[in-house]
Amino acid sequence: MTQRLYNLVDKEVLKKQVQEDPRKRITLSFYQYAQILNPPFFRDHLFILLAEQEVLGRIYIASEGVNAQISVPEENWASMVTALDSIDFLNSIRLNKAIEDDGKSFYKLKIKIRNKIVADGLDDDSFDVTDRGQHLDAAAFNALAEREDTVIVDMRNHYESEVGHFQNALTPDVETFRDSLPIVEDLLEEHKEKNILMYCTGGIRCEKASAYFKHRGFEKVHQLDGGIIEYARQAAEQGLENKFVGKNFVFDDRLGEKISPDVISKCHQCGEPSDDHTNCANDSCHILFIQCPKCKEHYENTCSIKCKDFNQLPIEEQEKLKPTAEFNGTKFGKGRYKAHRKEHALE
């Protein structure tokens, strides 16, 4: 029987441990498409390797590969790289370091087995998933982006592009990558003869999307190699023009990292400029939304007066109301709650 390895310590205890640990941690991400014949066995093997290096984070494993967002103590960086290199298909894998990073991005190690490392809803047997778009570094991306016969496409979700995106990019109004593929195809239909230049956070979504769009008849398909994270690093190191405006949304406790100083979004409660995502502090709601510091204080980290009042109730009363109570998180999708109305103005 396969040994099941999990971190069973309470999250709040782990969070306190990480916050009080004076050691510097490095946040990073990586992915790799590869054929994994026994995902459960590989999952436990990887857990043991990374736990020994005090790695924290979230990793998805499927028969098609690995998708990881993690952090590691700076002092363990070299030994972690050696551990990853011991796995053939992860040997010399590119590790995308976070741009803004205090090392407090994760508090425990979670490795889960999924059907796919990114949910795309595609039948991979119906097209060649290895026939991907041309990879471009930051300099090549900038050069192609400036051409009139180029269309830039954001392959991320609306709540990601809302706080930051490349100049002149198409930003589909979608909540999931699965939703984006048919919508993007419709948006691009009139541009089929142009250069299609797509990007995402770290590159993984574009790996599959570029192959799919080539299969659908788009010939000039390109993708930003390493995504926004690698682009920002290269632009800074090489002194290139930064064509990304605003903040890059990330899927860890930071929820974002500044790529440019511009704030292009608004607080979902008062409408003032803000690009700080948060999850409603009412765990029965937990909706993801944008909240400025003033509203954060007024609403006590919640998305509404209703959630604020609910959080102030005794736990016993909350438990009684939970089965029938309806909050923004049960009514709206991710980032869909926007209260820009006078009745939601601060009192």
Q: Is the pLDDT of residue 2 over 60?
A: no
Average pLDDT over residues 138-148: 98
Backbone angles phi, psi at 139, to 5 degrees: -65, -45
Distance, in Å, from the CA atom of 187 to the CA atom of 178, rounded to the nearest integer, reads 15
Contact in structure between 120 and 60 (CB atoms under 8 Å) = no
Rg (CA), the chain: 21
Look at the chain and report how many structural domains it folds into.
Answer: 3
Give burial (CB, 10 Å; 0-12/13-18/19+) of 112: exposed
Residue 182 lies in a domain: yes
Do 23 and 52 lie in a common domain?
yes
Q: Are residues 141 and 224 in the same domain?
A: yes
Same domain, 100 and 131: no
pLDDT value at residue 8? 63
Residue 65 lies in a domain: yes
Confidence of residue 1 (pLDDT cuts 50, 70, 90): very low
47 Cβ contact list (under 8 Å, min separation 6): 5, 6, 109, 111
pLDDT in the model for residue 294: 96
Same domain flag for 292 and 180: no
pLDDT, tens digit, 9 for 90 and up, residues 158-201 = 999 999 999 999 999 999 999 999 999 999 999 999 999 999 99
Give Cβ neighbours of residue 144 (< 8 Å, ≥ 6 apart): 136, 150, 195, 197, 222
307 an active-site residue?
A: no
The β-bridge partners of 59 are: 68, 111
Which candidate in 200, 206, 292, 303 is catalytic? 200
Residue 330 forms part of a structural domain? yes
Q: Based on the domain organization, do 225 and 148 belong to the same domain?
A: yes
Q: What is the pLDDT of residue 92?
A: 95
Alpha-carbon distance of 289 to 335, in angstroms, equals 5
Give me the domain span that covers residue 77: 11-113
Q: Which long-range contacts (CB under 8 A, 24 or more apart) does 120-128 make?
A: 120/177, 120/178, 120/181, 120/205, 120/208, 120/209, 120/212, 121/178, 121/181, 122/181, 122/208, 122/212, 124/64, 126/215, 127/211, 127/212, 127/215, 128/211, 128/215
Question: Over the chain, what is the mean pLDDT?
Answer: 91
Q: What is the pTM of this model?
A: 0.86
- 161 plus 57 within the same structural domain: no
**153 in a domain, yes or no?**
yes
The answer to whether position 253 is within a domain reads: no
Q: What angle do CA 299, 160, 180 make, to 5 degrees?
A: 130
Confidence class for position 347, pLDDT limits 50, 70, 90: very low
In a domain, 271, yes or no: no
| C-alpha dihedral sign at 221, 226, 227, 233 | negative
CA atoms of 302 and 300, how far apart (whole Å):
6
What CATH number did the domain enclosing 32 receive?
3.30.70.100
